[in-house]
Amino acid sequence: MRRLLFLLHGVGVHGAGWADEPGGPAAVLREASARYGAFKKRPLDARVRLVPLSYADILDDAAARWRKAALDGAKRAADGAEGAARRAGDFLRQAPWLARAADALEEGAAKLKPWAEKLSELPELAELARHLPAIDAAWPDHAADVAAWRADARCRDEVRRHVGAALRTTLLPLAEDGVPVTAVFAAHSLGTAVAHDVLDELGRRWLTTRGSFSPRRWRWRAAFMLADVSRLLAVGGPESLLRSGPERDPASWVRRLYEVRHAWDPIDRAVPKADALLRGAIRLDVGHAWRANVHSFGHYLEHPAVHVPLLRAAAGSGSVTRAEEEAALAEAAARPSVVGEATQRVKKLLDRKT
């Protein structure tokens, strides 16, 4: 049997090897798995093929398009205002007593041009965020990624095609020799919205075929939605195939769907959630704070309440024993938090709002 684990990131910088970087999801899972007996005998990478997926370049291109459009629009507006003022000035100068007003009008329009030029010198959103006062909970500073996905239809289409193509390229060749394939999908933050739409689109396309990965013949062993924002940012509706269901169910494509929520993650707490019962989701709640950025993909996976069911789904149910799970959870409960007083105040505020 072949086992695969797909990892789909959220906002932020995700270049080549993003998942393997220190604190990245693949690196965290390798480190976490090494504490359990089965993985000491046979490491995670020998059991499961980790497949990181990235669409960061597409978001960067969309942000660059937006920035150019804003600069071009500002220049056109400034040029248009200057031309209109010049024409109005020519008309006003036909009456000598209005010449002073015409001069003032043209001077005011001319002042718009430097403002348009200064737009090109403005820092990116991420750079601005780094200079703003921060709290220990480290709200992600790449809001442009979210805007690019939700408001730019061209960007969404390119992301869906890119991620869908990566899934097809990985999965389809594996069906040729008849060896069974088990796959798990883990998506984080904005990646949950991408996964919601991509898996639904791909599943519906394969539903009409007799292929090995049609929802009528095969399904994902598990899907993990960490800091799920799909209800707010996904384009597809609530009938997405990204839901749990029995074998050969054409209305679902997942055996088990996990919704992972974090008590101190501002983004996770602020975004409305999809109906867990409608999706047949299993809810996992965590409240650890072992890094300044409690929202990060790796930080979610560090907690055994998250990585144990993920490892079992990806590497087999016997890969982590019940005794090992209980010991890991006890150790996690005793582990001190690195989050400061500021985040505690934020959590209290969020508790009053939810």
Would you list the domain boundaries of the chain?
A: 2-60+139-353, 70-131
3-state class (DSSP) for residue 5: strand
Closest to 8 in 3D by CA, of 263, 193, 273: 193
> 168-202: buried (b, 16+ CB within 10 Å) or exposed (e) per residue?
eebbeebeeeeeebbbbbbbbbbbbbbbbbbbbbb
Q: Is the pLDDT of residue 353 over 90?
A: no
Between 60 and 88, where is the model more confident? 60
Integer Cα distance of 102 and 93 in angstroms: 7
Cα-based distances in Å from 149 to 19, 111, 156, 192, 304: 21, 35, 5, 12, 31
Extended strands (E) in the chain: 2-8, 49-53, 181-188, 220-226, 254-262, 281-286
pLDDT of amino acid 108 = 66
Q: What mean pLDDT, rounded, does the chain reach?
A: 80
The whole-number average pLDDT for the span 309-327 is: 97
User: In the chain, pLDDT over 90 holds for what percent of residues?
Assistant: 48
Taking only the tens place, the pLDDT of each residue in 86-109 is 665 565 455 555 555 666 656 666
**CATH 1.10.3470 is right for the domain spanning 2-60+139-353:** no
Whether 311 has a pLDDT exceeding 60, the answer reads: yes
Per-residue pLDDT at 298 exceeds 90: yes
Give the mean model confidence (pLDDT) for residues 35-58: 94
Contact 179, 172 (CB under 8 A): no
Average pLDDT, integer, range 205-234: 91
The position carrying tokens 């150019």 is: 68
In order, the DSSP letters of 153-199 are: HHHHHHHHHHHHHHHHHHHGGGGSS---EEEEEEEETHHHHHHHHHH
Structure tokens at 251: 């209305």
- The stretch 203-214 carries a mean pLDDT of 92
Residues 302 and 292: their CA atoms lie apart, in Å, by: 13
pTM of the model: 0.76
Separation between Cα atoms, residue 93 and residue 64, nearest integer Å: 43
